[in-house]
C-alpha cells in the first residue's frame, strides 16, 4: 500500500477509517527522517492491512503541536482509534516490523479495559 500524506483535514478520517494507522512525523531538513523514509515505504508494502501516513511537521505545525511532537522522526500508531505506540527516533526495518507485529497482536479489549481503569487504578490518589 502506498504511503499517504496526512494533513489536518485528513487526520480524523484516517484515524476513524483505519483499523491500524501508523504516522511518521518528519521534516524535509531532517537527515534521520530522510534515512527512515525508505524503511517506512518498504514496511508499507509488507503490511498491506496497515495504513501508513506521513505528517510533514513543517507544513502541519498544528498537528505536530496537537500530538506534542518534540523531536523527529516520531512514530505514532493508532489501532481502533487508540494510540498504542508513540516513540521518537528512527527505527531499523527489523525494529519497525517487530513493533507492527506486536501492535497487530494486541488484545484491544484488554487495552480498552486498562484505559478505563487507568494506569494508577488501585493507588491512593490522595
Catalytic site residues? 30, 33
What is the Cα–Cα distance from 22 to 54, expressed in whole angstroms? 8
Residue 115 has a CB neighbour count (10 Å cut-off) of 10
Environment class of 23 (CB within 10 Å of its CB; exposed 0-12, middle 13-18, buried 19+):
buried
3-class state of residue 122 by DSSP: coil
Among 125, 77, 81, 74, residue whose Cα is nearest residue 103: 77
What is the Cα–Cα distance from 22 to 36, expressed in whole angstroms? 14
Amino acid at each position: 500500500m502506498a504511503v499517504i500524506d496526512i494533513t489536518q483535514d485528513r487526520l480524523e478520517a484516517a484515524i476513524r477509517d483505519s483499523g491500524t494507522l501508523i504516522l511518521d512525523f518528519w521534516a524535509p531538513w531532517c537527515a534521520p527522517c530522510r534515512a527512515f523514509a525508505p524503511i517506512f515505504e518498504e514496511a508499507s508494502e509488507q503490511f498491506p492491512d496497515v495504513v501508513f501516513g506521513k505528517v510533514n511537521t513543517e507544513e502541519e505545525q498544528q498537528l505536530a503541536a496537537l500530538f506534542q511532537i518534540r523531536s523527529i522522526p516520531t512514530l505514532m500508531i493508532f489501532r481502533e482509534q487508540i494510540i498504542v505506540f508513540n516513540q521518537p527516533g528512527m527505527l531499523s526495518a527489523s525494529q519497525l516490523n517487530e513493533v507492527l507485529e506486536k501492535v497487530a497482536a494486541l488484545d484491544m479489549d484488554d487495552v480498552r479495559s486498562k484505559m478505563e481503569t487507568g494506569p494508577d487504578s488501585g493507588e491512593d490518589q490522595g
